[in-house]
Amino acid sequence: MFENLADIQEKLDELEQLLSDAQLISDQKKYQQVVRDHSRVSKLNTLYQKYRRIENDIAGNKELLHDDAADAELHELAQLERAELKEKKKGLEQDIRRLLLPRDPNDDKNIFLEIRAGTGGDEAALFAANLFRMYSRYAETRNWKVEVMSSNPIGIGGFKEIIALISGDSVYSRLKYESGVHRVQRVPETETQGRIHTSAVTVAIIPEADEVDLHIEPNELKFDVYRSSGPGGQSVNTTDSAVRVTHLPTGLVVTCQDEKSQHKNKAKALQVLRARLLDKIEQEHHDAVSENRKSQVGTGDRSERIRTYNFPQGRVTDHRINLTLYKLDQVMAGLLDDIIDPLETHYQTEALKAC
């Protein structure tokens, strides 16, 4: 088992030699890829060496069990050790298999976070703002950068829609399970009789598309400019700075009006459009090759209700893995690892079963 890992130390040495090459640092994209490869191979090497030691210990234990000269007490200790060694070996095999799983090609990418208010009117828009703060605070804990690309605020502090670019180390790998319908159950501030309302917000996680990922012909795009609406500073609502870009072949439309500059709004709108187009192509590909797309890692159905936030009970429930935590305040404050880590383990386990 794991015969291909026999030369793992050699591979690790090669990567360490690459990292010591001063010329590599000048190519930051390649350098970051080598750093990620080194981290993965280093973890594999550590686990594989532990696995080899366990195998040697099991072989020694087997010899002791078949040694007729050993006394009964020694045999009993060997039996106990054998069960413990087998359990450790099983755990190491699982850990190694996870690291050997094919990586999602988008895992290292930045993402566009798209949050839209669904059923529930103003309460849904307020919760959309709550979710945006939650993800922004989570990004802070991981030293990621959050840049708002487009927003459609309402006067009481909520958002009908907000789109943000989150950039940093392996953002997609951590947030790819967040796509879907997020349901909130709480008493709205405008509710005078204390009744609990249920509202819904949709979240989409879309990997950022590089120039090389997708080529768009200029004649496939239609641009419209108009005056920004809603709250804004000097010149935002008085000049034609807002931009609407339409991809004619697919009908996809992206608008951006947050910047005072028409040029900046156009650049942001194109950045979002490129990511949506690539995401649309990838989703269509997954649909074509798999009838059970929902079970694939990172490609959940965005119309699926994935999570409920129940404020009266201080509870958050992820319905995909039947996980319930009574720490809603911490989750809304951006402490999401207690949800994301179990989700990652679940989908990796499902992927292992499919191997």
Sign of CA dihedral 288, 164, 178, 212: positive
The total of other beta-carbon atoms located within 10 Å of residue 217's CB is 8
C-alpha span between 315 and 352 (Å, rounded): 31
Partners of residue 190 on adjacent β-strands: none
- Return the top range by mean pLDDT from 136-145, 194-203, 217-226, 302-311: 136-145
- The mean pLDDT value for 61-72 works out to 75
Q: How confident is the model at residue 227 (pLDDT cuts 50, 70, 90)?
A: confident
Side chain identity, residue 238: T
Say what the pLDDT of residue 137 is. 97
Q: 208, 187, 211, 182: which is closest to 197 by C-alpha?
A: 187
Residue 269 · residue 255 · CB < 8 Å: yes
The 10s digit of each residue's pLDDT in 83-92 is 888 999 988 8
pTM, rounded to two decimals: 0.72
Q: How confident is the model at residue 212 (pLDDT cuts 50, 70, 90)?
A: low
**Beta strand pairing status for 180-186 and 305-310?**
parallel
Say what the pLDDT of residue 188 is. 83
- The mean pLDDT value for 86-103 works out to 84
Q: How confident is the model at residue 26 (pLDDT cuts 50, 70, 90)?
A: confident
Q: 199, 201, 180: which is closest to 189 by C-alpha?
A: 199
- The mean pLDDT value for 217-228 works out to 85
Say what the pLDDT of residue 239 is. 65
C-alpha span between 315 and 270 (Å, rounded): 39
The 10s digit of each residue's pLDDT in 294-344 is 443 333 445 679 999 999 999 999 999 999 999 999 999 999 999 999 999
Please report, for residues 130, 135, 272, the alpha-carbon distance to residue 146 in angstroms, rounded to integers and kept in the order given.
15, 9, 14
Q: What residues contact residue 142 under an 8 Å CB cut-off, 6+ apart?
A: 168, 169, 174
Average pLDDT for the chain: 84
- Residue 183 Ramachandran class (φ > 0 left, ψ -120 to 50 alpha, else beta): beta
- The mean pLDDT value for 182-206 works out to 87
Residue 223 · residue 266 · CB < 8 Å: yes
C-alpha span between 124 and 189 (Å, rounded): 12
